[in-house]
Structure 1
Amino acid sequence: MEYHEVLYANQPDEEADGCTDDFLLKIAEQVEGLRGPEFDAAVRTMKYRSFGTASQKAYERAGGEEEPEGPGTPTAVINGKRIPVEHTEFLMDRRGFGGVFKLIHGTPAGWDTVQLGEPTTGIVSR
């Protein structure tokens, strides 16, 4: 199990600040081999705070003027283009989402021509 999966499964209420250091360290115990001095120090010193802040700002920009607090979840923006809401199932499917990334990896400008298929089949085309 990955840490992001554990975080997602144990989300505190949005109204409360439940992501304390103690909470983050406790749920990290569910991920084999994650806890250790380096990880614990990174959590306690907020080593990656600037990454989180930058990610939040990018998320808010993705919402534009219509959604200044962000577009909602799940959302993904690739090269400035948001995956349409009718295709957000791709964000929950490793094969489908991985297929999108493989198609656009070599030609990022070609994202405009990507056609999304059914996520369960992982089929996407140009």
Structure 2
Amino acid sequence: MAVSKAGRIATAVAAAALIGVAASACGPDDNNAGGSGSVKESSSKSASSAPEAKAPPAGNQLAKVPASVKGGVVTVGDPKAQHTVKVYEDPRCPFCKKFEEGGAQALVKPVADGNVKIEYTLASFLDNNFGGSGSLNAVNALRASVEAGKFAEFHAGVFANQPEAETEDAYTPAFLLKIADKVEGLRGAAFDKAVTNGTYKKWVETAMKSFSDDGIQGTPTVLIDGKKVPGDGSAIYDKAEFAKVLKDAGIS
């Protein structure tokens, strides 16, 4: 029997409560439609016929902050920074977009100032939940953007162009290249080939394994110096509220 949308949300909320993530979250068991598991186009669209992309928010203060990869994690900021904020996301998860547009903005200055590093673990379970390969495609492209030195800007662009629902498999390689067009200096032979050919598909699997090995049950999950966000976790969706949480953790 198919699970109703309300039932899926209730399941996600229950999972969130168990691990201290936000009261609303995307969970690996939200649905079981089954994904393709391969980097591909959702249809035969070419890059020229892919929808136009919106530009990421202007004035990204993290544009000059280095990003690096270790295992299945992308780190943005000084690896020796005093504080670590771990962020677990799936590109198709609408609550992750809500976090990026809300509480995550309170992290920008501390990271730019060198006081905090963000460790991103990028999951792709929503492909299995709802079908398609959008999360896989997006995570592959995000990994490629690290090599191009444009992770922070492209990461912002991916979420700015997230489809309206996680059931929509919109992140095709062609559309991801359209998003990359909005990031100055990102497009190039190596990046384009990586996005189109799925160069980092194995790394996407490594990132998903890191997500599972850490025992994470939903996205977004945010840990500050290894500790969960107090309360029901909803503070991560509001810049001012999350800034208070960070201040209480010694981050400002």
Task: Name the TM tier (shorter chain).
Answer: 0.5 to 0.7
Aligned residue in 1 for 2:250: 124
Separation in 1 of the partners of 2:223 and 2:204? 16
Q: Compared with structure 1, are the counterparts of its residues 7 and 76 closer, same or farther at alpha carbon in structure 2 (3 Å cutoff)?
A: farther
Give the equivalent residue in structure 1 for 2:199. Answer: 47
Which residues of structure 1 form unaligned runs of 5+? Answer: 65-69, 97-116
Change beyond 3 A, Cα 1:75–1:50: farther
What's the CA shift string for 1:93-113, capped at 9, x where partnerless?
8xx9xxxxxxxxxxxxxxxxx
Q: Distance in 2 between matches of 1:3 and 1:85?
A: 26
Which of 71, 75, 81 is equivalent to 2:222?
75
Residue 6 of structure 1: CA displacement? 0.4
Aligned to 2:214: 62
Superposed CA RMSD in Å reads 3.4
Q: 1:63 touches 1:71 (CA, 8 Å); kept in 2?
A: no
Distance 1:7 1:122, change over 3 A: farther
**How far has the Cα of 1:76 moved from its partner?**
4.6
Amino acid at match of 1:60: S
Instruction: Name the structure where helix makes up a greater proportion of residues.
Output: 1
Identify, as 1 or 2, the structure richer in strand: 2
Give the whole-Å Cα distance in 2 for the aligned partners of 1:76 and 1:45: 33
Letter in 1 for 2:192: D
Alignment identity in percent? 31
Scaled by the length of structure 1, what TM-score is found? Answer: 0.57
Q: Among 24, 36, 54, which residue is 2:188 paired with? A: 36
1:40–1:20 Cα change, 3 Å: same
Structure 2: how far apart are the matches of 1:31 and 1:44?
Answer: 17
Q: Aligned residues, how many?
A: 95
Question: How far off its partner does 1:24 sit?
Answer: 0.5
* 2:229 and 2:245 in contact (8 A); partners too: no
Residue 67 of structure 1 corresponds to which residue in structure 2?
Answer: none
- Alpha-carbon distance, 1:8 to partner: 1.3
Aligned to 2:230: 86
Name the SS for the 1:75 alignment partner. strand
Runs of 5+ unmatched residues, structure 2: 1-59, 61-152
